[in-house]
Structure 1
Amino acid sequence: MHIRGDHVELVVGGRLDVRSAADARTVLHSAVDDGVGDLVLDLTELDSWDATGLGVIMGAHRRAGRAGRRLVLRGVPAQMQRLLVATRLHRILAIEGGLAAESLPRV
């Protein structure tokens, strides 16, 4: 897993999982604490995440809210979009440009 960027935009790549969660949490919390306005997480380079990685994202979302900021996800891969829909987290998280139509449930 790698994260590069600053307190305005971070690019997250590789695997966000139980092995990388502690490092990711530290970087995300620092970015939230050191900035103002939206914090964009660009996930275009993210290969996968597990429940722990998703928990890190949700923790950063809550921390951003307490700091008067908004966490915005950008470039969420299709597989991860489907997970956000299945867990209904797409209703809570800000996702730039919305979700792809194939990720949404059929009515």
Structure 2
Amino acid sequence: MQFQINSEKTQALMTGDLTFADHASFKALIGSLLKGRGSPIVIDLSELDFIDSAGLGMLLLIRDEANKAARKLVLRGPIGQVKRMFGVTKFETLFVVEES
């Protein structure tokens, strides 16, 4: 997984695959996004090609951290396999998911 964070540290674009191997870099992403105060956190998944169960768990982790910080979390634009995984796991009931 690779990610880019906007200058306000409130939005991230994720690319590639989100798997167990990305846990350390994902924790760094969470830390960076939580530094941007007040604004909703938006994770753009429109360029994420693949997510496994560990990747889904990491999204639950950032949701919990955002809740602790009283920040809204939005997942934007899942497509392909990622969108199918969201459907199978009913993630749209756990997150605010925006279509791109």
TM-score (norm 2): 0.86
SS of structure 2 residue aligned to 1:15: strand
Q: Is residue 30 from structure 1 mapped to residue 32 from structure 2 by the alignment?
A: yes
Which stretch of structure 1 is more off in the superposition, 4-13 or 81-90? 81-90
Residue in 2 that maps onto 1:56? 58
Residue in 2 that maps onto 1:2? 2
Amino acid in the other structure paired with 1:5: I
Gaps of 5+ in 2: none
* Matched-pair contact (CA < 8 Å) for 1:33–1:67: no
* Matched-pair contact (CA < 8 Å) for 1:3–1:10: yes
Gaps of 5+ in 1: 99-107
Matched-pair identity in %: 28
Give 1:67's match in structure 2, choosing from 69, 72, 82: 69
SS of structure 2 residue aligned to 1:23: helix
Which stretch of structure 1 is more off in the superposition, 83-92 or 62-71? 83-92
SS of structure 1 residue aligned to 2:29: helix
Amino acid in the other structure paired with 1:55: G
Segments of 4+ moved more than 4 angstroms: none
SS of structure 2 residue aligned to 1:29: helix
Amino acid in the other structure paired with 1:75: G
Residue 39 of structure 1: CA displacement? 0.5
Distance 1:79 1:70, change over 3 A: same
- Structure 2 matches for 1:65-104, cutoff 5 A? 65-97=67-99
Q: Counterparts of 1:33 and 1:90 in 2: how far apart (Å)?
A: 26
TM-score (norm 1): 0.81
Give 1:19's match in structure 2, choosing from 9, 18, 21: 21
When Rg is computed on C-alpha atoms for both structures, the one with the higher figure is 1
Q: Counterparts of 1:63 and 1:82 in 2: how far apart (Å)?
A: 25
Work out the number of aligned pairs and report it: 98
Residue 45 of structure 1: CA displacement? 1.2
SS of structure 2 residue aligned to 1:20: helix
